[in-house]
Structure 1
Amino acid sequence: MSIAAVIFDMDGVLIDSEPVWEKVRHDYVVLKDGRWQPDAQRKMMGMSTDEWAAYMSDDLGVAKPLDAISGSIINLMAAQYLHHVPAIPGAVDAVKRLSTQFKLGLASSSPATLIDLVLDRLGLIDDFSAVTSTADVGSGKPSPDVYLETAKKLTLKPAQCAAVEDSTNGLISAHAAGMRVIAIPRPEFPPAPDALALADVVLDNIDQLTAEVITG
């Protein structure tokens, strides 16, 4: 089945935001007298908003209601993005280039407010035909739900979609959805070897993401 769409992850694929998420969450946990753990950010990558708020409460010891935790973190992230969106070099050009040849979707673990803010600041809102947050489907990655929902919005079968991911949970999610999986790992948060092995293609950077790579 030929590939008709490319579905991007956002954090770690289009923007170098995982270090920003880590700093914001770390500082908030410390401020609230919680217990930050060295692998906390890696564990939260791919979680939905409700899931990472619960993790921060249950595992990191933030004694606040879940909606207060998530609301505070989202507001802090929005403030960071209003100051500067850390676009990965080549990402905007890749989206613009591929939008002329494929339908584009976005399947992100970020909440809709942050997705909209980032796409607006990068000038990419009109390039995506379908945008889904894990908050819209309830289950975060590695569940395939966010990818399946995005394919549904694009009116395509999962096998007609290529997913571009960077993280362990994202790669597992896209593979479980039955999509062609293209991995662009981030050196700061490399995916687990068994998750990376699920990718059909592994690239060094997003500049290498061409139509030929997508279609195989």
Structure 2
Amino acid sequence: MTDHEVLRVFCGPGGEYGNELGVVRDGAAVPGRAERQALARELGFSETVFVDDPVRGEIDIYTPTLRLPFAGHPCVGAGWLLGVDRLVTPAGVVGVRREGGLTLIEARAGWAPPRTLRQYGAAAEVDALEVPPPGEWIYAWAWQDEAAGTVRARAFPGRDDGIDEDEATGAAALLLTARLGRALTVTQGRGSRILTGPRPGGLIEVGGRVVREAAQGVGDVGSA
């Protein structure tokens, strides 16, 4: 049995909602890529993180079907859980800071996986969208208040792995921030909250609230 923790990342202001993240603190217990991929598929979260060095912040990220060099909500969650000021990912070193109950990371837009950013004319149009068939990874968004930088978004991974919609996606919000070149407050999914903003040196900051949901073994996955 492989122990793992469950976090909710990018929670709303009261700790509600957020995207679930599986974290295997003892990455050495699952050493091979094939074994990690199989466990990520078994756990069924949009992403699962394996911690290879908790002091250096070295992590490895998997969806149920593939390994990712970088992803937003796993880095925010792992940064919160490990209490480090940086994470080491295959894409590069991710800065981590904390402020006012939030955990924020700094990363480059070029590290994010490709996403189709699809703008709609109103938040109500985004709310009314049905899940599209598998295909491209779509980040549907609309301004709630352009002057204030508030955005309504939903994320459709387009994968045939049982995850039709992601509750909160840091990498997609990072890409949108890079495109618009301004700070954003994104409400995604049922009510998750993502805060972003450009930083010096071409970096983008992405962050939010993290809540610990559970610690369990693989045999207890259904109780998450």
TM-score, normalising length: structure 1: 0.27
- Determine which structure has the larger helix proportion and give its number: 1
- Determine which structure has the larger strand proportion and give its number: 2
